[in-house]
Amino acid sequence: MIRKMINIIVFSCLSIMLFGCASDEERIDVTFELSNDIKVNVTQVAKDYLIKNNCGTSETIQVGTASITDYLVGASDEVSDPKDIGQVVYKVTFKDKSHVVTGLPEVLINQEDNRVVGFKVGK
């Protein structure tokens, strides 16, 4: 009985150390597994969203500079539906020109249906 309890405690401590020490962004990163079709589609959705919301133009948003990472939506993110908080989505970031004061917003896109769920203010 005592041996069983010790095993459970040791297993619990190891699990916490392995999975609890890394931040959510460090644990969720599978960008290297995205197919080219998904990259193109997600990048186009993000570009269209930024143009539609007057955040840039076709000339200022450089599709070739887009980086796509997995991202855990937090309460501080601007989302259209609170149900999306806590979901893992794609975060699309476009590289800006160096002389701009604020960068383009980072667009958050649902992984299942390529729907824009919100954005993060650019840096």
- What confidence score (pLDDT) does residue 95 get? 82
pLDDT per residue as tens digits for the range 22-68: 444 444 444 445 567 778 888 999 899 988 988 878 877 878 888 88
Which residue(s) pair with 106 in the sheet?
120
pLDDT at 11 over 50: yes
> Whole-structure pTM over 0.85, yes or no?
no
pLDDT at 77 over 60: yes
Q: Which residues contact 59 (CB under 8 A, 6 or more apart)?
A: none
- Spatial separation of the C-alpha atoms in residues 74 and 120, rounded to whole Å: 10
- What confidence score (pLDDT) does residue 32 get? 46
Least confident of 15-19, 51-55, 81-85: 15-19
- Spatial separation of the C-alpha atoms in residues 91 and 107, rounded to whole Å: 6
pLDDT averaged over the chain?
A: 77
Higher model confidence: residue 115 or residue 26? 115
Q: Spell out a b/e string for 27-51, using b for 16 or more CB atoms within 10 Å of the CB, else e.
A: eeeeeeebeeeebeebbebbbebbe
CB 61 within 8 A of CB 79: no
Average pLDDT over residues 72-85: 88
